[in-house]
């Protein structure tokens, strides 16, 4: 298990679509452990594989450090697919480990259903709402090559431009390791 530097805005891998996992191997399990270690080190609650340089269609979620989620069991979603989203939408402020220093209001479905395989290669389906649904949708976006700036209107995107440039140029101060300049 290792702490891997977080990829940040400007890193090409964050714009690439993840590749489906054909089998859960020892290497896959090691990557998942690295994902949890890296996410927890950065005090995150979700992390997609491409956020630490893996192209695999995997993300992890651990909400147990969040109020009202103390009994949450960490979860690994491999090859996730959103199969249902409620018509009811909620707009809340989001942050992202790959966008340090940025927070923006993002509209997302209040409730979802997601199908995925677990580390035992068993197909699973869960329903989620509130913060859990939001984190799943946020991480799922990463697997599609999308990030918060892709989910906000042009006015907000314009307001974020200087911060995005600072992140791309590594002109930010944060307390977790990030990748070297990838441009």
Q: Which residue in 107, 110, 139, 173 is the catalytic one?
A: 139
- Residues 6 or more apart from 153 whose CB is under 8 A from it? none
Adjacent-strand bridge partners of 120: none
123 a catalytic residue: no
CA distance 101 to 158: 16
SS (H, E, C) 15-48: HCCCECCCCCCHHHHHHHHHHHHHHHHCCCCEEE
Asked if 97 contacts 47 with a C-beta cutoff of 8 angstroms, the reply is yes
Three-point CA angle 88, 100, 182, nearest 5°: 115
CA gap 124, 116 in Å, rounded: 5
The span from the CA of 141 to the CA of 53, in Å, is 16
> Any idea which residues carry the catalytic annotation?
139
């Amino acid at each position: 298990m290792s702490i891997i530097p977080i990829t940040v805005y400007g890193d090409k891998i964050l714009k690439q679509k993840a590749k489906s996992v054909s089998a859960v191997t020892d290497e896959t399990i090691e990557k998942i452990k690295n994902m949890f270690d890296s996410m927890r080190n950065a005090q995150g609650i979700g992390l997609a594989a491409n956020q630490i340089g893996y192209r695999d269609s995997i993300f992890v979620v651990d909400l147990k450090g969040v109020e009202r989620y103390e009994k949450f069991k960490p979860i690994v979603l491999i090859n996730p697919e959103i199969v249902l989203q409620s018509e009811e939408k909620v707009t809340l402020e989001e942050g992202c480990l790959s966008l340090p220093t940025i927070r923006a209001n993002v509209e997302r479905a209040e409730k979802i259903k997601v199908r995925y395989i677990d580390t035992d290669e068993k197909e699973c389906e869960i329903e989620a709402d509130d913060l859990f649904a939001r984190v799943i949708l946020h991480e799922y976006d990463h697997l599609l090559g999308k990030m918060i700036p892709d989910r906000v209107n042009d006015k907000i995107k314009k307001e974020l431009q200087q911060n995005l440039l600072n992140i791309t140029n590594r002109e930010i101060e944060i307390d977790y390791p990030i990748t070297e300049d990838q441009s």
